[in-house]
Amino acid sequence: MAEPLILALDQGTTSTRAILFDRQGRALAEAGRPLQQHYPADGWVEHDAEEIFQACVEVLKEAVQKAARSLDDVAAIGITNQRETVVVWEKVTGRPIHNAIVWQDRRTADACERLRGEGREGRVTEITGLLLDPYFSGTKIAWLLDHVDGARARAEAGELLAGTIDAWVIWKLTGGRVHATDATNASRTLVYDIRRGEWSAEMGEMLRVPLALMPEVGDCAGDYGETEAGVLGRAVPIRGVAGDQQAALMGQGCIRPGEMKATYGTGCFMLVNTGEAAPVSQARLLTTIAARVGGLTTYALEGAIFIAGAAVQWVNEGLGVKGGPQAVEQLAASARDDHGVVLVPAFTGLGAPWWDAGARGALLGLTRDAGLPEIAQATLDASALQTRDLIEAMRGDAPEAFGEGVELRIDGGMSRSLLFSQRLADLTGVCVCRATYQETTALGAALFAGLGAGIYRDLEEAAAARPQTERFPPQMDQEPRERAYARWTDAVGRVRSR
């Protein structure tokens, strides 16, 4: 009998992809489709949920075909998804009542500000580990119920269902037989009690979200039914689900306390596994569920950097440096040592641990002999120095997770740069381990599904299939490292709005 394969579905913000993996975590084939973005008003971002589902079906089929394999060889499907994006649909027909509202959407900012003004945020954080921000799903669901004709009455009558993209895709793939999500996605909704492991009646009442809408919550490695035979050509078990950043945490093998990863794309998401402890952050980091396997919940602290790779793109487009990221890297490599130029890329405000939406970007420390090479290096350094901000905040919130030999596992577009990987190690003082295979999000979904399907005996065996890494130990002396960080913190203080 052929070795069992695992099919990972990675439904992201700008594309939908499927990758077929073998038991060793090696990618055999992949397929993808771009996802159209809809911007009906300033600060609003939507997706067509039906388009998402059709793309999911197409890429799942295509990945198997490209590998010249049969669906009979696929032991399980694992799903990972853009977190916080929500859909509300009719239980009988399966039709969405509105476009999906995307995690980037800001239309519920006033609702969040009102609740914050009522002094609710402390209680929200205590229950959910999150902050009151339109980023999360709960206020989006309430908006749909209040702004689509008759939706709230229909929800209260039990005619509607809601969920994040994973729940929507599972419901559609199974022909409406399974309405479920996993604990990591549930933990991003503002409606889930992350410590009790259940939907919170208090949060549902606060946000005006009927809990009857919400899906059943399962493990990351568990039974989510089977695809309807007519959808893919035969029934395939769905055995793994995780939100994209938690899937990447698994794909990087970060299953023990203190293991951490950062994904550098347009922005950066960094998570550190805190084990069974769910610390309440004093630095306004998010406490979130890292995974739930075999009924055991592990937690993570999460920090978000709004601008990472987007700053490199700004150098290309805004400063006219042609040649993409490679040209920026080449310029940065020729910069003078300890030049003192600092870029604070607060183009859309500052993320964790500052959470200052009113901050704006600045280029500081310019001298007559500063030029594009110094600006390019400052651009790469900005992501490294923001990462240090997060490391310092995480170390303060969960010191027990930062023992000897701590390392940062990285992936994403910026991690392809050798120079950035080394500057990251130098400016944080932490050994950086770069994944040699970049698609760790899809791999994490596959590993969870393999565990749920019994392909792997336990979490440790699944995590052992993570990619090999290249190590970048710090090479910079402590004095210049601390001097660079002092310049950074001073610059951040200058651009903050409060």
Whether 131 and 89 have beta carbons less than 8 Å apart is answered as: no
Q: Which residues contact 196 (CB under 8 A, 6 or more apart)?
A: none
User: What pLDDT is attached to residue 265?
Assistant: 83
User: What pLDDT is attached to residue 127?
Assistant: 95
256-279 confidence digits (pLDDT tens): 988 999 998 888 989 999 999 898
- Give the C-alpha separation, 387 to 428, whole Å: 7
Supply the pTM of this predicted model.
Answer: 0.88
- Give the C-alpha separation, 443 to 463, whole Å: 10
Segment holding 6, helix H or strand E: strand 5-11
User: What pLDDT is attached to residue 321?
Assistant: 85
User: What pLDDT is attached to residue 448?
Assistant: 96
HEC per residue, 261-300 = EEEECCCEEEEEEEECCCCCCCCCCEEEEEEEECCEEEEE
478-495 and 418-428 are packed helices; what angle lies between their axes, rounded to 10 degrees? 90
Domains of the chain: 5-244 (3.30.420.40), 253-498 (3.30.420.40)
Block means of pLDDT (10 residues each) for the chain, 498 residues, are 87 91 92 90 90 95 91 93 94 95 86 92 93 90 95 94 96 96 96 96 96 96 94 92 94 90 88 90 91 94 88 88 89 88 88 82 90 92 94 87 82 89 94 89 95 92 88 93 94 88
Segment holding 136, helix H or strand E: none
What does each C-alpha distance from 348 to 208, 323, 355, 359, 415 come to in angstroms?
29, 25, 11, 7, 22
388-399 confidence digits (pLDDT tens): 999 999 988 888
Would you say the C-alpha torsion 447, 449, 452, 454 has a positive or negative sign?
Answer: negative
User: What pLDDT is attached to residue 404?
Assistant: 72
